[in-house]
Structure formats: structure tokens, C-alpha cells
Amino acid sequence: MGKKFFIAGTDTDVGKSLVAAALLHAGQKQGLKTLGLKPVAAGCEQKEVDGALTWVNDDALLLQQYSSVNLAYEQVNPVALQQAIAPHIAAQKENRSLSLDRIAGFLRGSMMTPSDLCVVEGAGGWKVPLNTREYMSDLAHALNLPVILVVGMRLGCLNHALLTVDAIKKEGLSLAGWVANTLDSDMPVFAENFDTLSSLIPAPCLGTLPYLSSLSPEAAAEYLDINKLYS
């Protein structure tokens, strides 16, 4: 059985897709069969896929691109919502409803495809609602996936990161590791913030991504140590 992880973030736009794609690329460099999944994506546009117009999301396409296991787009991203807003609100505007059981069922089907490394990327932060009763965090719990947390390194990151870590632990999930992604090119006392997180987060840091205006998954993979996920 291969390793499977849920990619969570301390907020939206902290680099979950970049980290997920970088992990997939790093895995392929080590000869692993890799699979990236984006169950819920808000912010889609119509593109031609296999000869038909389909609502697709750039983050999901990125994971599909960096997966060595080939799946149809609908298997990678079963819920594609048009507006780049909170998923449950985007669904309401399309007269749709999101169901944890249904999303988890789609994912279980895709995850049955053999792989050595599978990453499932969430949407937004840890507690983004799916509906009035269920949250994105419930999906990680339903699938019993260890979590990799992407921490957006900027002012306020200590609070966001530690609250998220606390929530993950309280929900009985394993924190497999975390990644520090530098979002502020001139973050005050970066080293002190990083040291604080390293001492308080009970999981290994898989790497620190530098601040770059355009960091490719290939470049980001050079800063990550996926061996820590297998030790």
C-alpha cells in the first residue's frame, strides 16, 4: 500500500497546490507512482477536455499534470465550482449542495487506483465549510488521512499555524509534517518565527520554500525532503 496524505493550509492562497505538485514531482524523481487529487475546487473556467467543454480548475490541472498515474479530470476533481469563493457559497449560487459522503465516495474510488504516493489537496483553510454541518476537515477525517500542513510564512502565521495544528490533533488525525512557504519577501524576524513553529509543531518540517514571484513545482521540490514522510 502506498502513502496517502491530505494537504491542508493555514489559510487560502498559502501554496497548497504548489506544495502538492512539488511533492508529486519529488516522488517521481525517486521512482514512485504518484497521484494528486483535488476533490473540491472553487474558481473554474470552461476548457476543452477530451473534445468536450468542461469546467476545470488550474490547481486541479496542475496536480493532474504532475501525477504519473493518469486519471480522467473528473476523477481528479469531482466537484468543480465556477466562482472563486467559499465552496459552500459557490455551490449555493449554482443551486448545488455539497455532501461529505458523496465527495468521500468519489475520492475513495479514485484512491483505489494503485500509487506509491497520493496527495489529496483541500480547499482554503482547515475549517472551510462544505455545508451548514460539514467541513473540509471532515473529509480528511472520513478518509483517515495523515495531514501535511502548508504554513504561509507572514505576519500572523504563528496564530494561524498553531490553531490549525491544535484542531488537527483534537480531531484525532496525524500530522505527518509541515512546510514553511515564504509569502512575504520581507517578513520581520523570519528565523525567530520559524524556530517558534519548529519547537511547537509536533511534526517534522519537510522544507522551507523561498519567496519567489514564480516558483515552479520542479524548483520547489528541491527544497522538500519527502524521505521524512517515509521514516
Q: Where are the domains of the chain?
A: 3-229
**Tell me: the pLDDT tens digits for 21-51?**
999 999 999 999 999 999 999 999 998 877 7
pLDDT for 1 equals 62
Q: Which residues contact 180 (CB under 8 A, 6 or more apart)?
A: 151, 153, 194, 197, 205, 207, 208, 209
pLDDT at 198 over 90: yes
- Mean pLDDT taken over the chain: 95
pLDDT for 7 equals 98
Question: Which class is 3-229 in CATH?
Answer: alpha beta
Give just the sign of the alpha carbon dihedral 123, 129, 135, 139: negative
Residues with catalytic annotation?
Answer: 38
**Tell me: the pLDDT tens digits for 48-77?**
877 788 899 999 999 999 999 999 999 999
